[in-house]
Amino acid sequence: MSPSAHVTPLQRVSDTEAAAWHQVVAASTAHDLPGVPAPSPGQIHAQLTQPALGSRRLTWLATAADGAPVGVAGLRLFTSPGQQHLAELELHVDPAHRRLRTGSLLLSAVLAACRAERRRSLVATAAAGSPGEAFSERHGFRRALTLDHLMLRLDELDVTELLRIADAEHPGYRLTSWTGTVPDGLADAFAAAKNAMNDMPVGDLDYGSVAWDADRVRAMAKVVADRGDTLLTTAAVHDDGTMGGYTEIVLPGSSGPRAQQYDTAVVPAHRGHGLGLWVKAAMTRRLRAEHPGVVEIETDNADDNVHMLAVNHRLGFRSYRRTHEYQLDVPAA
C-alpha cells in the first residue's frame, strides 16, 4: 500500500491548484458517472474563485508523495439566516488512488472545520450505486433524499404538443421572460415567488429555509454572470401584479450543448392553473428559438415530488440516473 496522501487547506486558490482540482474531478466523474460530462476547467476555476450566494467555501487538496493531485474536498458553509447550521460537502478521489485512506483524511479535515464553524449538519450527494454511496454510508451519513435526474432531448420533442401547451390561454396571467438580472419592475414579485421554493419536497433532509428579497435575487443573478454562465427566466404574472410561477435555465459559459434546469416553482395561491407546465413549455420554446446550440436540458426532482415529475414527463423528460442526498449529524470533537 502506498503512503497516505498529504492534505493541504487551500487559501486563495491559484490557477495551478484549480487545474489540479479539475484533474481529480474529471477522473472521478469519468469513472463513477460514465456518460455524464465533467465540469470544464473554466467552470471549476469559477467555482473555486468566484463568490457564491449566501455562503462561503473552504477547500482542501490531497497530494501523493510525488506531489500529484489525488483528491479534493470542498465545504460550502451557508451564511444566510435559516441555514447557518448547515454545510455541504463535495469530495472526489482519483480512482487510481482510492482505498488508500485519501477520502477519509479529507473527510476528517472537513469535519474538523464543521466543528470549528459550529455546523451541526453536513450534506453530501452521491450517485446511486457509486463508490461515493458506499463511502457515505461507511462514514455514518444517512440517506435523506433520492433525486431522479431527467433529460429532455430537444431534437426528440413533440413540437406540435409543445406549442399547444406554450400557446394555451391562462386567463388572468401573461408570460414574461428575461435574461440575467430580473427587471426592476418585477424584482419584488419575483422575490416573493422565489419563497415558494421553501415548501419543495426535500425528504428527510434538514436543508433549512431561505428568505428571498429583491436584493437577493439580483445577487443570485450576479453570481451566475460572474462565473460566465447565462441565466434565463420565464414567468407567469397575474393581472394583479403578483408572480404566479417561474422557471429558470442556466446555460454554461463553455457554450456546451446541455442546459441546466434551476428552480421551477408555482406560488401556493396560484396552484391548480397549470402554470408550472406552461412556463416550462414556454421556456423550452424560447431555448429552441434563441439558443439552437442547446440540444438537451437536464433537471432533477425529488422522487416524492409527484407533481413536478408529472410535468416533466408530460414535456418529454426521461429519467436517466438517480442520486442520493446524504446527511451527517456532525459529531462533537
The ranges assigned to domains in the chain are 6-119, 150-321
Q: DSSP labels for 64-109?
A: -TTS-EEEEEEEEEE-STT-TTEEEEEEEE-GGGTTSSHHHHHHHH
- CATH-assigned architecture of domain 150-321: 3-Layer(aba) Sandwich (3.40)
Confidence of residue 213 (pLDDT cuts 50, 70, 90): very high
Residue type, 117: E
Q: Which residue has the cell 406552461?
A: 278
Nearest residue to 262 via CA among 254, 277, 250 = 250
Segment 264-303, tens digit of pLDDT: 999 999 999 999 999 999 999 999 999 999 999 999 999 9
Residue type, 284: T
Report the range of poorest mean pLDDT among 69-73, 225-229, 296-300: 225-229
Would you state the torsion angle of the CA atoms of residues 308, 309, 314, 316, taken in this order, to the nearest 10 degrees? 120
Confidence of residue 1 (pLDDT cuts 50, 70, 90): very low
6-119 belongs to CATH 3.40.920.10: no
Q: What is the pLDDT of residue 78?
A: 95
Q: Where are the beta strands (DSSP E) in the chain?
A: 6-10, 55-63, 69-78, 86-93, 121-127, 142-153, 173-179, 230-238, 243-251, 258-266, 296-302, 318-329
Q: What is the pLDDT of residue 122?
A: 97
Read off the C-alpha cell for 294: 442547446
Read off the C-alpha cell for 279: 412556463
Alpha carbon 117 to its chain's center? 23
Confidence of residue 82 (pLDDT cuts 50, 70, 90): confident
Q: Which residue has the cell 460514465?
A: 34
3-state class (DSSP) for residue 277: helix
Whether the model clears a pTM of 0.75, i.e. scores above it, the answer is yes
